[in-house]
Amino acid sequence: MFTEPTAFSLRDFLKWLVLLIPLSAAVGTSVALFLVLLETATELRFGFPILLLLMPPAGILMVWLYREFGEESHRGNKLILEHIHEEGAGRIPLRMTPLVLFSTVLTHLVGGSAGREGTAVQMGGSLAAAYGRRLGIEDDDMPGILRCGVAAGFGAVFGTPIAGALFALEVAK
């Protein structure tokens, strides 16, 4: 049944609107950069097939980077999904964004197989957690910020914002 909006619900709507526009723009821009880099890496790989020989050293480099600098970033999407469902959503490291972006682009450059959607979800979640920490978002609002970052990343990588929102709602269950 339709009820008259209250000042409280309007205030909450405006709060989330103001919070999420800059986050969505940052995640969307980051994912757009990722897609450009990915396309460039793929073109280079086809232009220089010898890059395939670099797959083993590239793999070693990525493992070393994650072990040396990654903190919990190596847990990838599992880390993001866990923090959507439990306290401490702000503990996702910001370094996950450059690590997953670099690793995925390098993987494609040397002929490896890595999906775009997982990278975009991790970038969106990592950026959202950092954004929430920076703004001092309360713990009970952090899972919502995280869901929105995930939605922005997923929607941006496929160019489907509604699908991104539905994906974030689905993982929130």
Residue-wise pLDDT tens digits, 62-99:
999 999 998 888 888 788 888 887 765 568 899 999 99
Query: What's residue 152's pLDDT?
Result: 94
3-state helix, strand, coil in the chain (%, to 5): 80, 0, 20
Confidence of residue 2 (pLDDT cuts 50, 70, 90): very low
Q: What are 110-134's pLDDT values in tens digits?
A: 999 998 999 999 999 999 999 999 9
Mean pLDDT on 35-43: 97
% of residues, the chain, pLDDT over 70: 92
The average confidence (pLDDT) of the chain is 88
Cβ burial, residue 156 (10 Å; 0-12/13-18/19+): buried
Phi-psi region of 159 (alpha: psi -120 to 50; beta: other; left: phi over 0): left
φ, ψ dihedrals at 108, nearest 5°: -65, -35
Nearest to 99 by CA among 134, 74, 77: 74
The pLDDT, as a whole number, for residue 48 is 97
Please state, in angstroms and rounded to a whole number, the distance separating the CA atoms of residues 95 and 110: 23
Which residues, 6+ apart, have CB-to-CB distance to 40 below 8 Å?
none
pTM of the model: 0.88
Report the candidate in 54, 156, 36, 39 with the shortest Cα–Cα distance to residue 112.
54
Check whether 15 has a pLDDT greater than 90: no
Which one-letter amino acid corresponds to residue 137? I
